[in-house]
Amino acid sequence: MTMRRAQLVVARDQATLAKAAAAELRRRAAEAISSRGRFTVALAGGSTPRALFLELADGHARGARPRLDDPRIHWFWSDERAVAPDHPESNFGLAWNAIFEAVRPPTACVHRIEAEADDLEQSARAYEATIERVLESNGMRPVFDVIWLGLGSDGHVASLFPESPAVFEARRHVVVTQHPQTGAARFTFTLPLINAARAVIFLVAGEGKRPVLARLLAPEIAGEPLPANLVQPENGDLLCFVDAEAAGAPPDRDGP
């Protein structure tokens, strides 16, 4: 199922989008905890998720359930820049500043990539081992309850950039790659791990994403599929939460 078949949720603006995405995360967390005793979620990087993170923190302060410090919730990141957690570019740092510094979930529930280490490959393999341990995959493909993704204007997801060998990685779950323009080292979930999730949710906002979103949602994809179009959950849900600016259309009649 490609992006064209994703469940599309169009919100009137970024604030409404953040509220809808936060409600979806809480709903899926409650369902996972109730049915499986645990919720495993990988957060997206970049700047778009900040509004979602602030909304989650605000909901937590208002008593929303489940609490974000619930020890049955395990937090991961679907990609990371090879920088220290307090670096302005850190995806972990974005979530830490927006949510976790105040909420303080148990440290055993917050699984950060050791992105500042000298040996990046070792950090990637250590993260794979953590994922396999926490998700109790027992040698099978680990299955996240939810993996959040952003969308790059070039169609990249996580740090899977067009023409990058990492896009075609068929065995590993986390690999080291690099940004095509800056060459900066990155860590990223691979497509086999992403496509094994119970749900993959895109969070896309702003007029700048309209062209790439229109291309991804078009009936036929001309040319090579973009990494975002290779996000095709085998058994999971595929949702795309967008604001009206990115969608280039008014919000759904019954949309948030």
**Site for ligand 6PG contains 46 (CB under 6 A):** yes
> CA 167, CA 225: separation in Å to the nearest integer?
11
Q: Give the interface size with ligand 6PG as a residue count (CB under 6 A).
A: 14
Binding mask 180-219 for ligand 6PG (x = CB under 6 A): ----------------------------------------
Query: How far is CA 179 from its chain centroid?
Result: 18
> CA 108, CA 120: separation in Å to the nearest integer?
22
Which two structure tokens, joined as six digits, stand for 69? 């410090």
Footprint of ligand 6PG on 76-95 (CB under 6 A): 79, 91
The enclosing H or E element of 19 equals helix 14-36
Footprint of ligand 6PG on 128-157 (CB under 6 A): 150-152, 156-157
Which residue is nearest to ligand 6PG, using beta carbons? Answer: 150
**Least distance between ligand 6PG and beta carbon 75 (Å):** 15
Query: Which of the ranges 31-39, 42-50, 167-175, 238-246 carries the binding residues for ligand 6PG, by CB under 6 A?
Result: 42-50
Q: Rank residues 46 and 66 by Cβ distance to ligand 6PG and give the closer one.
A: 46
**DSSP 8-class letter at 251:** P
DSSP for 30-45, written as a single string: HHHHHHHS-EEEEE--
- What radius of gyration do the chain's Cα atoms show? 17
Site of interaction with ligand 6PG (CB under 6 A): 44-48, 79, 91, 150-152, 156-159
